[in-house]
């Protein structure tokens, strides 16, 4: 089985054959409420191609064993595949050293490792900066950190178009700023933030920077050495991989400076009842048995996406975004939130006088999966003074015909609810 899906990955895709691509994703063949599934909730989780599913099955069927701890053949094979995935991730993100990659359960876990580590570094009166466009997982850990250390949380404000006001960021920076955190792309609005400028200005005053890349990595291919970012985090399930696995990238100097996040097996060098010494990177932060199959499948998911090409993915998704924007704006009373030209394939919208949850419920009956609510970004909704939005988020495997179905479904919901 393993050889079959590796061979499939090696077959070059000269152009985006959408029927061939969609055939790679078994879930796209199913029906919901008697209608063909139209999946527009990709910002919450992307769908998984068969080669990634096969990689998980192959692990449990053929070499299921714990890693790093056995001399027997299965353990060695599992370890090779697991560490092979780390090397794939290193290459994909252009990371200097493979040991600067820490495997975690996902973006939230990765952020919390950094936030907990800085408890021993920050002092009362130090300042940390987040943006107004953050997911709750990039707000709450820093609030908790401030409560424990006495540090002060500052926020880069946003404008009506869903962009960060960078002139205000300049005013927030000072010699008291120790950390800056922002997402690469907003999950609620699709805004692509100017992270190069954010990183450069933070470094100019000696502050470290963490970028939440969960929403960016399905659409673009970040070059972490070029960005010169101190920490970058993401989740596999956003990039056509499995749930329950992600990465924390950190520069070696920072990962060495931070204390271990949790204790247990694997993260130790020597243990006595008098004293324990910790393992070298990356094992210092990888206590316990990891999600072995998930990490291996993450590597296969990156292989799949790179085989298609992120330039192809980006072009396809831009076309879908432009088409959906044009079609949705033909609906009377519909407003889109997040109207910057510099955005990815996410549209958050409401229809005047109708609660977003009601729209989401009706279009689901017609087979269309969208997300409704505040999208774990409640401060954004508070800014617009709304309870939430309907969010349609597109991936390269979606079609223009599916967008037509979405538009007609929203029109039917509007007619029923008015």
Active-site annotation, residues: 376
Q: Name 336's bridge partners.
A: 349
Q: Which helix (H) or strand (E) holds 131?
A: strand 127-131
Strands ordered across the beta sheet of 208-212: 101-104, 246-250, 231-235, 208-212, 177-183, 127-131, 152-156
Residue 407's Cβ-count burial label (10 Å; 0-12, 13-18, 19+) is buried
Q: Kindly state the tokens that stand for 25.
A: 């994703």
Q: How far apart, in Å, are the Cα atoms of 378 and each of 135, 160, 274, 318, 387?
A: 8, 15, 47, 26, 8
Distance CA 180, CA 170 (A): 12
Q: Are strands 31-32 and 334-337 parallel, antiparallel or unpaired?
A: unpaired
Distance CA 334, CA 192 (A): 23
């Amino acid at each position: 089985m393993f050889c079959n899906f590796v061979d499939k990955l090696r077959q070059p895709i000269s152009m985006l054959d959408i029927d061939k691509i969609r055939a790679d994703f078994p879930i796209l063949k199913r029906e919901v409420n008697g209608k063909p599934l139209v999946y527009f909730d990709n910002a919450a989780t992307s769908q998984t191609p068969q080669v990634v599913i096969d990689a998980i099955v192959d692990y449990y069927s053929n070499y299921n064993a714990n890693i790093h701890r056995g001399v027997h053949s299965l353990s060695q094979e599992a370890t090779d595949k697991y560490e092979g995935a780390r090397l794939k991730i290193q290459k994909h993100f252009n990371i200097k050293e493979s040991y600067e990659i820490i495997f975690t359960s996902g973006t939230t876990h990765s952020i919390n490792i950094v936030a907990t580590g800085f408890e021993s570094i920050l002092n009362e009166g130090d300042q940390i900066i987040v943006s107004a466009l953050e997911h709750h997982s990039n707000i709450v850990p820093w609030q908790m950190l401030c409560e424990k250390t006495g540090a002060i949380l500052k926020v880069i404000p946003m404008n009506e178009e869903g962009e960060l006001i960078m002139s205000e960021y300049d005013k927030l920076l000072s010699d008291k700023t120790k950390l800056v955190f922002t997402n690469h792309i907003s999950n609620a609005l699709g805004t692509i933030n100017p992270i190069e400028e954010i990183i450069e200005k933070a470094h100019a005053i000696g502050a470290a920077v963490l970028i939440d890349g969960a929403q960016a990595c399905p659409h673009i291919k970040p070059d972490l050495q070029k960005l010169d970012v101190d920490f970058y985090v993401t989740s596999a399930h956003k990039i056509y991989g499995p749930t329950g696995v992600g990465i924390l990238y950190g520069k070696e100097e920072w990962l060495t400076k931070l204390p271990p996040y949790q204790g247990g097996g694997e993260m130790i060098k020597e243990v006595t009842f008098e004293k324990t010494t910790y393992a070298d990177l990356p094992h210092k932060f990888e206590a316990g048995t990891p999600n072995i199959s998930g990490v291996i499948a993450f590597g296969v998911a990156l292989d799949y996406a790179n085989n298609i090409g992120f330039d192809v993915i980006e072009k396809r998704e831009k076309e879908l975004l432009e088409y959906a924007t044009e079609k949705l704006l033909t609906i009377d009373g519909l407003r889109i939130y997040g109207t910057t030209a510099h955005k990815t394939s996410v549209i958050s919208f409401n229809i005047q006088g109708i609660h977003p949850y009601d729209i989401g419920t009706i279009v689901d009956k017609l087979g269309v999966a969208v997300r409704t609510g505040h999208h774990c970004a409640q401060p954004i909704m508070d800014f617009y003074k709304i309870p939430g939005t309907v969010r349609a988020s597109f991936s390269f495997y979606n079609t223009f015909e599916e967008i037509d179905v979405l538009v007609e479904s929203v029109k039917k919901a509007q007619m029923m609810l008015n």
